[in-house]
A and B are shown apart, each in its own frame.
Chain A
Amino acid sequence: MATIDPLLVILFMANLLILVLVILFVVKSGCFSLQNKIQFWLIAGYILLLLASPVVIQMLPKENFADERIKKVSEKDLYVQADLYTIAQGASPEQIKGVFVLEQWEFPYNGSMLNVVVRPLYEYDAVIVVERKDSADGKIEAVNYASKPIVELIDLSEIMKPHKVALDGNVLKVTAPEFLQIELGVFRNEFVISQILGDTELESAPWRHGSQLIYLRVPADVEVQSEASVHFVEKQ
């Protein structure tokens, strides 16, 4: 059992106190002098409303749910390990399951020196992998690879934002993607249900981090230097 925050206990007690006061207030005064008929219809109306709600909830359009709008993955997909870091160690991105191209760029380049900078400086550790091509074709190709972030079996890759990559003179600027904050809501079954039927898979389905990687293919005659850590790999 998790340790209980004393503050929570105090809050809970305060709630209970309010509750007692409400009950006593309703019972002792005001509402009690309501006519019996009015009381009866209020309660009957409330109960009817509640009895109707299981029907009403069936009629709500389901398209609106977050997971109906966004692609869902099967539980199987969760166990596809997409470790982008193996790319940095020389694995080919195309061979790793679950890795996909989020964005790609191509820049014509004639210089012999390329300076890679990462923005924001000091705050962001981009994983940058550099591969020197066989030929000096005068093109820098940049690919933003990513692995899927999965939350509650929802594939969030579609809303993932890519890095920004821009070439300015001999400086290739890699800007961290816009930080995304997503809020989701989910219902937990009531404890009286989970006591008998057990918890839903909600708690058991693990969340998967998504990660990103910038893969640069530079012409054979270009020297790359960077203050950020850059991994050089040989072409397979």
Chain B
Amino acid sequence: MSLTDISLTEPSLFDTVKKQFLYKLKGRLGLFLAMMGVQIMGLLFSLSGASSHGMGDNFLYVSVNEFSSDLIIWFTFFWIFVVAVLITTKDYQNIDFTFVANRLSSHLSNVGFLITAAVIGGVTAMLSGTLLRIVIYFIRGRYMLSENFITDPEVILTGIAVTILYLLLISALGYFCGVLVQLSKVFIVILPALYIGTVDFLARELPVIVKVYNFIIGENSLALLAVKVLITTALIYACSCVLANRLEVR
């Protein structure tokens, strides 16, 4: 070997994941722009109020319009699902494997990216609710009741934590679906059919569905919810990594 020879580098997985993560964060800012768009859209839709109920007698009819930023949070859930599926597609994969990567580093940096997205999404979705309150205050402040208007910091923080947990879970599911589709295009048909079949219409009362529902949505303790969601999320990500580890790329 001559002196001018290029020596082989010994990359560490952690280093590679870190580099890829930063590269992805930089290159996928547009996805956060999409989040912004989705949340602002949710905010606009929420301006007219979510539901209203009224009471009347012979002299008086009182209707109370309920406002809520639930829609913004639902939209954010939807956003992270689409993002999670999107980053498993060939286009995004090619970007990964243009520079140094193996499957594991690519997955881990994607997971890192999705965790970041969940945190940013959770914080912004909940705070969009505060922004919505401010907007409503100015456009119809005189009709507003002060109840739930100014939320205590610990309540907002609880909301942010729960939203982040849901976003983590949904992103993991989206990523898993994306990986399945990468494995076989058959899943493009199977997954929506499965979803509509089991969750949406036919089997709402199915014991399994009810159990899953109670497991996550019925959990009233933040700590338990966190434990359940984090373990489930980790398992789903692990499955995705194992399943996609032998996938060919580029």
Contacts and interface: CB of A to CB of B under 8 A. Distances in A.
Touching in the complex, A and B, CB below 8 A? Answer: yes
Interface of A: 1, 15-16, 19-20, 22-24, 26-27, 31-32, 34, 36, 39-40, 42-43, 46-47, 49-51, 53-54, 56-58, 60, 62, 64-69, 124-125, 149, 151-152, 154, 156, 160-161, 176-177, 179-193, 195-198, 200, 202, 207, 209-212
Interface in B98-139: 120, 123-124, 126-131, 133-134, 136-137
Contact of B127 (A50, A66, A182, A184): A50
B133 A160 contact: no
Interface stretch (B152-160, B169-177, B235-243): B152-160
A184 B62 contact: yes
Nearest to A37: B29
B78 interface: yes
A68 B146 contact: yes
B150 A193 contact: no
Nearest to B144: A185
A34 B37 CA distance: 14
B67 interface: yes
B33 A34 contact: yes
Contacts of A188: 50, 66-68, 70, 148
Contacts of A207: 55, 62
A170 B75 CA distance: 67
A65 B55 CA distance: 20
A45 B153 CA distance: 22
Interface of A is mostly: helix
B75 A19 contact: yes
Contacts of A23: 34, 37-38, 78-79, 82-83
B145 A22 contact: no
4 closest residue pairs by CB, A with B: A50-B127, A192-B162, A26-B34, A187-B148
A16 to B, nearest CB: 6
B12 interface: no
Contacts of B62: 149, 151, 156, 181-184, 207
A199 to B, nearest CB: 10
A60 B134 contact: yes
Given A57-B134, A66-B143, A192-B73, A210 B59 contact: yes
B147 interface: yes
Interface stretch (B3-11, B14-22, B183-191, B213-221): B213-221
Interface of B: 26, 29-34, 36-38, 41, 45, 49-50, 55, 57-70, 73, 75, 78-79, 82-83, 86, 120, 123-124, 126-131, 133-134, 136-137, 140-151, 153, 155-156, 158-159, 162-163, 166, 204, 217, 219-222, 225
Given A189-B151, A189-B155, A32 B59 contact: no
Contacts of B38: 19, 22-23
B193 to A, nearest CB: 15
A193 B155 contact: yes
Given A50-B130, A156-B60, A186 B159 contact: no
B113 to A, nearest CB: 14
Given A19-B38, A193-B158, A32 B30 contact: yes
A189 B158 CA distance: 12
Contacts of B145: 65-67, 152, 154, 184-187
A160 B58 CA distance: 11
Contacts of B155: 189, 193, 197
Given A26-B37, A54-B156, A187-B148, A151 B64 contact: yes
Contact of B147 (A186, A190, A192): A186
A187 B143 contact: no
Contacts of B83: 23
Contacts of B147: 67, 152, 186-187, 200, 202
16 contacts: A19-B41, A32-B30, A39-B30, A47-B120, A50-B131, A53-B134, A65-B141, A69-B142, A186-B145, A188-B70, A190-B163, A191-B70, A192-B126, A193-B162, A195-B219, A196-B220
A197 B67 CA distance: 18
Given A160-B60, A184-B65, 14 more contacts: A23-B34, A23-B38, A26-B30, A26-B37, A39-B30, A43-B33, A65-B146, A67-B147, A184-B143, A185-B144, A186-B67, A190-B73, A209-B57, A210-B60
